[in-house]
A and B are shown apart, each in its own frame.
Chain A
Amino acid sequence: MEKKTFGITLRVWKQEQGEQTGHFEIYKIDGLTGDISFLEMLDILNEKLLKEGREPIAVESDCREGICGCCGLVINGDVHGPDEHSTVCQLHMRRFKDKDVITIEPFRAAPFPPIKDLVIDRSAMDSIIKAGGYISVNTGSAPDANSIPIEKAQAEKAMDFAACIGCGACVAACPNSAAMLFTGAKIAQLSLLPQGNPERNIRVLNMVKAMDSLGFGNCSNEYECEAVCPKEIRISAIAKMNREFIKANFASEQ
């Protein structure tokens, strides 16, 4: 059976490498079916552009199964596209209709400098993690699996926060480009586990300091981050981080 195909118009943000500003370029693409993913649609377009001798659209993706956090686009104003709590790679063309005009923009935030077109530099998030989003352990042989018993419920709770893939959607969706959900998720995860306990005070203080100095905004509890997070990290992560901050600031030696 012949599948019904459709065509769309794309308005894609184009920005040359190292340039400070760019423009929207219009592309038309036909012969699409609902079964192909949004990124595959961009692949088809890029192949077509290459054959025509035109410059392809720079776009980042890796695992394409929603767990690496590489892809991240703002599609018609929706961070990670119109599907709720999902990454761009999980978005399929069946969400669009024939003759739709789709505007594609990169994640925008001052600490995320653009590299080219839709590719941005998210290393500021790595810098936050480097400031304390880890536990210090002695290297050596692997410890016994059950040497530190952790309640199942507690482990699950920590895992909910550990699910963060660092895609930056929270920052992209935040009206203040704050990275509080991202930072809060890591702090909440480690504070729920015995392994994270020894460094919990210095961790929250250092990570918040790093977050502030990297140029992320201040949270104003708009809860936009929670609405877009593909891993459904809840704003309880931010509340947890705030509690950890208060505790570390007033009730520790730091």
Chain B
Amino acid sequence: MNFKYIVRMPFSSIGRKILMASSGLLLALFMLVHLGENLLILKGESAYNGWVDLLLSNPLIPAMEVGLLVLFLLHIFFGLWVRFEDWKNSRKRNYEVNKSQGGRTIGSATMLYTAFALLLYLVYHMIHFRFADHSMGFYQMVTEAFRDKFFVSIYVLGALALALHLSHGFQSAFQTLGIQHEKYTPVIKATGWIVSALMILFAFISIYFFAGFDAKLQYEQEKVLETVIE
């Protein structure tokens, strides 16, 4: 039996990058689904809680959660390994005049920093939503959290870090997987920009509740109702 092909994946530069890129792309896909679910909260309590109940009634959810955890761990592990190799092989002395040659973007230059910010954010997010008390219902839990100034700031920073991370990560992952051609690479790049811009909607949701738009909307609806009755 030949197992060299398995060993080669973690123990070669390209193999590690492929593992990081593919897990990253799957995580980006998850983020899009997650965003879609979160946007349901704008439709009100019954829509959101109804969806959450339906989701949790799926017996496969615990297994999928484990899968998601594995994806995160793979992405973090191989991302750190790639960075460790780069750090190990870094220049003995840096350039006196350090200058971008025109290839780097803010997103690509800050990948490691946004990664750490996202990790911290993820832990915070898990503590406050995943492992929190769910007895009051998910809608109540989330909207109440969004009334807090500190919580909303963390949430907005997290969304911005995610947008920045994906602005490089999305198209970079395709390049790493060898999916690159002058025909469709512009499409991949544009998609990456759209996906990363969409991540800002996570921040929008929290600001929406923080600014009390839901209450205002309700108030206005009631007013409309009143005038209709009158």
Residues of chain B with a CB closer than 8 A to A212's CB: 12-13
Q: Is B102 at the interface (CB under 8 A from chain A)?
A: yes
Q: Is A21 at the interface (CB under 8 A from chain B)?
A: yes
Interface string of B85-100 (1 = CB under 8 A from A): 1100111111111111
Main SS of chain A's interface residues? mixed
Bound complex: CA A79 to CA B103 (Å): 13
Main SS of chain B's interface residues? loop
Q: Is B143 at the interface (CB under 8 A from chain A)?
A: no
Chain A positions 223-254 with a Cβ under 8 Å from a chain B Cβ? 223-228, 235-236, 238-243, 245-246, 249-250, 253-254
Tally inter-chain residue pairs, CB-CB below 8 A.
135
Query: With A221-B108, A224-B103 as given contacts, are A236 and B181 in contact (CB-CB < 8 Å)?
Result: yes
Residues of chain A with a CB closer than 8 A to B97's CB: 74, 76-77, 103, 105
Least Cβ distance of B98 to chain A in Å?
A: 6
Bound complex: CA A228 to CA B102 (Å): 8
Contact count band on B = 35 or more
**Contacting pair A224 B101 (CB below 8 A):** yes
Least Cβ distance of B196 to chain A in Å?
A: 15
Query: Looking at B13, B91, B92, B93, which has the most chain A CB atoms within 10 Å of its CB?
Result: B13
Contact count band on A = 35 or more
Least Cβ distance of A176 to chain B in Å?
A: 4
Bound complex: CA A155 to CA B183 (Å): 20
**The 7 A-B residue pairs with the shortest CB-CB distance in the complex, in nearest-first order:** A77-B99, A223-B103, A77-B97, A243-B178, A239-B180, A242-B178, A224-B103
Interfacial residues, chain A to chain B (CB-CB below 8 A): 11, 13, 20-21, 24, 74, 76-79, 103, 105, 108-111, 173, 175-178, 180, 205, 208-209, 211-212, 215-228, 235-236, 238-243, 245-246, 249-250, 253-254
Interface contacts beyond A78-B101, A219-B176, A245-B178: sample of 15 additional A-B pairs, CB < 8 Å, sorted by A: A180-B13, A205-B8, A219-B13, A220-B172, A221-B168, A224-B100, A225-B103, A227-B102, A236-B181, A238-B175, A242-B14, A242-B17, A245-B14, A245-B15, A246-B177
